[in-house]
Amino acid sequence: MVLEIPTYEDVVAAARRLKGHARITPLVRHDLLDKISGLNLYLKDETAQKSGAFKYRGAFSRLSLLTKQERKAGVIAYSSGNHAQGVALAAKELGISATIVMPDNAPRKKKQGTLSHGAKIIEYDPRTTDRAKLAARIAQAENRILVPPYDDKYVIAGQGTCALEIIDVYKTRGVRLDAIITPIGGGGLCAGTNLAVCAHSPHTKVYGSEPVNYDDHARSLRSGQHETNTPAPLSLCDALMAPSPGEITFAINKKYLSGVFTLADKECLLAMALAKQTLDITLEPGGAIALAAALSRPKNIKPGANVAVILSGGNVDADVFALAKNFNP
């Protein structure tokens, strides 16, 4: 099978499609975070994006390209929550019917957000059911267009617009951007970021960050081939538990990615607590993992470097956020 690998030009085209639809989210900073990390940090606050996460970018990028006939047929997606909400909202804005396959243990806030945009949810047991196969069967039976959460040319291009905005701010300010740290689950945001960086800011290094026990990208980079996670205890980072890297995303990330940091849930909780304390930003664990990586003083990045961190989402249930509020390191 020939993979449809997106390019920098696809990211630029996605930015044109998203203009007037996606929000240009802020870059924020705080002295305490710089002191803890030993870095000059700017945080890209994607909790301020529509649907509370960066996933709206890729969803609208893909759905906006559907033909009139495809829009009439409707779409189906599978997701633990943020892609679900992004697709549901983009579909609502474009007048498209949306069905979302979601695990029965998905966060309540993400289910409620998906339903609030008019999408239909079909739940499944993640212990016994392959979500991609289930969605594909429904797509075929109902003649719907399948919108993958990360392994799609136009979804990846849409996610890359986040990095375009970061780079443009640094260039406008005349500041060298040494690195960008992203979360990494299936790899779509990281792949889109790499596409933006390789052409628009080639000196900037890109790093991923993923949960302990779900470190398939870190192991895949070391081996040079797709590695799959073995069954492990669930992580609080529900958005980052993809079983293995995507085919398209890994083709991009293995070429450009400078490294992957692995973080424990407790480090994400600390990052959540600090983001709330310093900037009044509410993050979900997966949305905080890139900040957790920066705060760990990674050896790969020299002290004092100018680093952008993507805060990828803030759709968190109250009981999980309470763990961060009450966290004592």
Please say if the pLDDT value at position 167 is more than 70.
Answer: yes
Amino acid 193: pLDDT: 98
How does DSSP classify residue 186?
A: S
- 231: pLDDT confidence band, cut at 50, 70 and 90? confident
Percentage of the chain lying above the pLDDT 70 cut:
99
Q: In the predicted model, what is the mean pLDDT of residues 257-277?
A: 97
Amino acid 251: pLDDT: 96
Q: Model's pTM, two decimal places?
A: 0.96
Amino acid 211: pLDDT: 97
Amino acid 187: pLDDT: 96
Amino acid 283: pLDDT: 98
Percentage of the chain lying above the pLDDT 90 cut:
94
Q: In the predicted model, what is the mean pLDDT of residues 85-97?
A: 98
- 232: pLDDT confidence band, cut at 50, 70 and 90? confident
Q: Write down the number of H helices and E strands in the chain.
A: 14, 10
Please say if the pLDDT value at position 254 is more than 80.
Answer: yes
CA 57, 61, 62, 67 torsion-angle sign: positive
Q: In the predicted model, what is the mean pLDDT of residues 178-204?
A: 97
Amino acid 3: pLDDT: 86
Q: What is the pLDDT of residues 18-63, one digit of tens each?
A: 999 999 999 999 999 999 999 999 999 999 999 999 999 999 999 9
**Helix, strand or coil for residue 146?**
strand
Q: In the predicted model, what is the mean pLDDT of residues 250-267?
A: 96
Amino acid identity at 219: R
Amino acid 127: pLDDT: 86
Please say if the pLDDT value at position 327 is more than 80.
Answer: no
In order of their start, the domains of the chain are: 8-53+153-325 (3.40.50.1100), 56-146 (3.40.50.1100)
Amino acid 144: pLDDT: 98
Taking all residues of the chain, what is their mean pLDDT, rounded to a whole number?
96
Q: In the predicted model, what is the mean pLDDT of residues 120-147?
A: 95
- 328: pLDDT confidence band, cut at 50, 70 and 90? low
Please say if the pLDDT value at position 142 is more than 90.
Answer: yes
Task: Round to whole Å and give the CA distance between 205 and 88.
Answer: 33
Amino acid 38: pLDDT: 98
Residues, the chain: 329
Give me the sheet containing 75-78, strands edge to edge.
120-124, 98-103, 75-78, 145-146
- Residues 152, 92, 103: CA angle, nearest 5 degrees: 60
**What stretch of H or E contains 311?**
strand 306-311
- 291: pLDDT confidence band, cut at 50, 70 and 90? very high
Amino acid 233: pLDDT: 87
Residues pairing with 77 in the sheet: 100
Task: Round to whole Å and give the CA distance between 113 and 82.
Answer: 9
Residue 205 phi/psi, 5-degree rounding, is -90, 150
Task: Round to whole Å and give the CA distance between 144 and 71.
Answer: 9
Nearest in space to 293 (alpha carbons), one of 218, 227, 223: 218
Q: In the predicted model, what is the mean pLDDT of residues 108-116?
A: 96
The DSSP result for 224-257, as a single string, is TS---PPS-PPPS-GGG--SS--HHHHHHHHHH-
- 1: pLDDT confidence band, cut at 50, 70 and 90? low
Give the residue with greater pLDDT, 326 vs 130. 130
Please say if the pLDDT value at position 326 is more than 80.
Answer: no
